[in-house]
């Protein structure tokens, strides 16, 4: 990826994270902000919006760090196992383990005595459903081989990025963080092939210009 395309990638992902968090923040924390709209306190609304966008930029940076770490791990995994099928099998095991952790360990860590485990399936279900949708979209834009890696990234990487808030277990923050992470991760995963083609085209143009000179 050329530096120009990388900067474009970085900035657009920042924008996606900021806008998503700005929207999601007012939805998931509506109880806190409803009075601002009822009383038409526009300065306060703008203040909160800018704060949410700032938080979203942080979420976006976390997402981008996770994405580039995933690309490194993916290449490392292929190098170790020497086979897409074997590496995909390892990724499936890790996906199942992470989904199990999202349910069982959160239940053991935060549930009161006598609480049902059923509500703790919600977070895992959201991550799984979004991950499957994005993975199917990735297959349509690339090939079938990309399904498991895309699902792995959307589930495992998102959960790892999400860990600081999961440990606190504050519901509003859990949802405030996960949706921007999912959107940013999906955006990066789906836009990467297009940006790689754009980078390749730029290299061809640069080489042609050098040759002409």
Per-residue pLDDT band for 212 (boundaries 50, 70, 90) equals low
Backbone angles phi, psi at 83, to 5 degrees: -155, 135
With vertex at residue 153, the alpha carbon angle to CA 176 and CA 75, rounded to the nearest 5 degrees, is 145
Please check the confidence at residue 211 and state whether its pLDDT lies above 70.
no
Can you say whether residue 112 is alpha, beta or left, with left for phi > 0 and alpha for psi between -120 and 50 degrees?
beta
More confidently predicted of 64 and 78: 64
User: What is residue 198's predicted lDDT score, i.e. its pLDDT?
Assistant: 81
Q: Which helix (H) or strand (E) holds 28?
A: helix 3-28
Domain count, the chain: 1
Q: Is the CB of residue 22 less than 8 Å from the CB of residue 56?
A: yes
Question: What percent of the chain has pLDDT above 90?
Answer: 52
Rounded to an integer, the average pLDDT of 86-91 is 93
User: What is residue 89's predicted lDDT score, i.e. its pLDDT?
Assistant: 93
**Both tokens assigned to 36:** 């601002």
Please check the confidence at residue 114 and state whether its pLDDT lies above 90.
no
Per-residue pLDDT band for 110 (boundaries 50, 70, 90) equals confident
Of 38-42, 111-115, 132-136, least confident by mean pLDDT is 111-115
Q: Which helix (H) or strand (E) holds 59?
A: helix 42-81
pTM > 0.85: yes or no:
yes
Per-residue pLDDT band for 50 (boundaries 50, 70, 90) equals very high
More confidently predicted of 124 and 36: 124
Range of the domain at 42: 3-212
User: What is residue 213's predicted lDDT score, i.e. its pLDDT?
Assistant: 60
pLDDT digits (tens, 9 = 90+) for 152-163: 999 999 999 998
User: What is residue 115's predicted lDDT score, i.e. its pLDDT?
Assistant: 77
pLDDT digits (tens, 9 = 90+) for 5-21: 888 899 999 999 999 99
Q: Is the CB of residue 130 less than 8 Å from the CB of residue 182?
A: yes
**Both tokens assigned to 108:** 């053991």
């Amino acid at each position: 990826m050329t530096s120009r395309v990388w900067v474009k990638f970085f900035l657009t992902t920042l924008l996606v994270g900021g806008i998503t968090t700005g929207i999601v923040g007012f939805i998931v924390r509506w109880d806190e902000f409803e009075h601002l709209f009822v009383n038409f306190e526009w300065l306060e609304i703008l203040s909160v919006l800018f704060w949410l966008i700032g938080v979203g930029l942080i979420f976006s940076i976390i997402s981008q760090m996770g994405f580039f770490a995933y690309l490194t791990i993916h290449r490392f995994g292929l190098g170790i196992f020497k086979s897409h099928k074997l590496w995909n099998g390892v990724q499936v095991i890790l996906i199942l383990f992470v989904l199990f952790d999202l349910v069982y360990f959160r239940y053991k860590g935060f549930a009161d005595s006598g609480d049902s485990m059923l509500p703790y399936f919600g977070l895992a279900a959201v991550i799984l459903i979004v991950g499957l949708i994005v993975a199917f979209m990735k297959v349509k834009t690339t090939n079938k081989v990309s399904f498991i890696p895309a699902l792995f990234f959307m589930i495992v990487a998102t959960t790892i990025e999400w860990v600081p808030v999961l440990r606190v277990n504050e519901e509003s923050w859990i949802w405030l963080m996960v949706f921007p992470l999912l959107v940013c991760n999906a955006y990066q995963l789906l836009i990467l092939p297009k940006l790689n083609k754009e980078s390749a085209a730029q290299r061809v143009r640069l080489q042609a210009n050098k040759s002409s000179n």
